């Protein structure tokens, strides 16, 4: 508890501006009734995101020539990254927890208002949206597990598809990446930070394969499902009307300019 109180105090100091570029605090405009226009836009954006369609395409591709089973057998036998199935199993949980902690850290760091009372209220609303997103992913993952009834590679039960660890890690990685869009970071730092958090989620997913708990298609489908739902709920219900700060690149004859752009 003291750790989160300290992070909250630090976020008030280090968050820079007290509001987002649109003059509002993060979480201030969170709503239960976002309207069909916002929901439709969020739905399209989440569906078109590479984080949704790329792993989904990968899950389909590994069905060719039994690549799914063969890659699972190779990874769990050689464990090239984690060294053993037991280590891979333990690290998958640690990595998923790491993604969750990064989400809360970035959420606390985002500017949510000038006054402590309004700051706290806005944080609670913003974090509530994140909680709903992660819980929606968990419920959807468990429902699909029950419906597909796929046996795990190690044969321990029939809850292989999709991967719950991967869904959880990817959900928090997606929410963290969206939080980073609204932090006034240099473009290089933002890109590196997003790459890092998604790499943690990818490592958690691969650990599940090396641990012989899931097939590659299980973790790929879990990543696609989780990214889609988390991005959709974040963009629909958090009520952020201003465009996020996004990297920009301007190429001139003798130099390249990197920066952040935001529309109002």
Rounded to the nearest 10 degrees, the angle between the axes of helix 216-237 and helix 187-210 is 140
Place 255 in a pLDDT band, splitting at 50, 70 and 90.
low
Q: Name beta bridge partners: 256.
A: 251
Confidence of residue 131 (pLDDT cuts 50, 70, 90): very high
Structural domain for 108, as ranges: 2-261
The pair phi, psi for residue 160, each rounded to 5°, is -85, -35
Predicted structure pTM score: 0.85
Where do we find the tokens 């879990």? 222
Q: Residue 41 has what pLDDT?
A: 95
Q: What CA–CA distance (Å, rounded) separates 104 from 172?
A: 9
Higher pLDDT, 21 or 75: 75
What is the pLDDT confidence band of residue 184, given thresholds at 50, 70 and 90? confident
pLDDT class of 17 with cuts at 50, 70, 90: low
Q: Which residues of 79-97 are buried (b: 16+ CB within 10 A; e: fewer)?
A: beebeebeebbebbeebbe
C-alpha radius of gyration, the chain, whole number:
20
Domain count, the chain: 1
> Please, which residues have CB within 8 angstroms of residue 183's CB and are 6 or more apart in sequence?
106, 109, 110, 190, 245
pLDDT digits (tens, 9 = 90+) for 206-235: 999 999 999 999 999 999 999 999 999 999
Confidence class for position 114, pLDDT limits 50, 70, 90: confident
Predicted local confidence at residue 20, as pLDDT = 81
CA–CA gap between residue 59 and residue 33 (Å, rounded): 34
Q: Give the SS3 label for residue 145.
A: helix
High-pLDDT (> 70) share of the chain, %: 84
């Amino acid at each position: 508890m003291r750790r989160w109180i300290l992070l909250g105090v630090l976020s008030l100091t280090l968050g820079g501006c007290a509001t987002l570029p649109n003059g509002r605090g993060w979480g201030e405009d969170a709503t239960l009734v976002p309207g069909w226009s916002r929901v439709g836009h969020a739905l399209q954006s989440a569906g078109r995101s590479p984080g949704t369609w790329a792993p989904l395409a990968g899950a389909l591709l590994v069905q060719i020539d039994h690549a799914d089973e063969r890659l699972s057998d190779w990874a769990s036998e050689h464990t090239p990254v984690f060294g053993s199935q037991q280590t891979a199993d333990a690290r998958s949980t640690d990595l998923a927890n790491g993604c969750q902690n990064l989400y809360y850290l970035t959420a606390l760091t985002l500017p949510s208002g000038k006054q402590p009372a309004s700051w706290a209220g806005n944080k609670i609303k913003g974090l509530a949206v994140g909680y709903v997103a992660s819980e929606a992913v968990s419920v959807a993952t468990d429902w699909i597990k029950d419906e597909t009834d796929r046996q795990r590679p190690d044969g321990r039960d029939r809850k292989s598809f999709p991967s719950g660890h991967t869904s959880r890690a990817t959900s928090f990685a997606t929410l963290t990446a969206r939080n980073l869009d609204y932090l006034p970071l240099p473009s290089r730092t933002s890109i590196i930070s997003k790459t890092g958090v998604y790499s943690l989620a990818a490592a958690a997913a691969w650990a599940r394969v090396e641990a012989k708990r899931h097939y590659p298609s299980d973790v790929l489908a879990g990543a696609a499902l989780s990214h889609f739902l988390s991005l959709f709920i974040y963009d629909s219900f958090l009520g952020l009307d201003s465009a996020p700060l996004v990297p920009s690149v301007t190429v001139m004859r003798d130099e390249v300019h990197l920066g952040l752009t935001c529309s109002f």
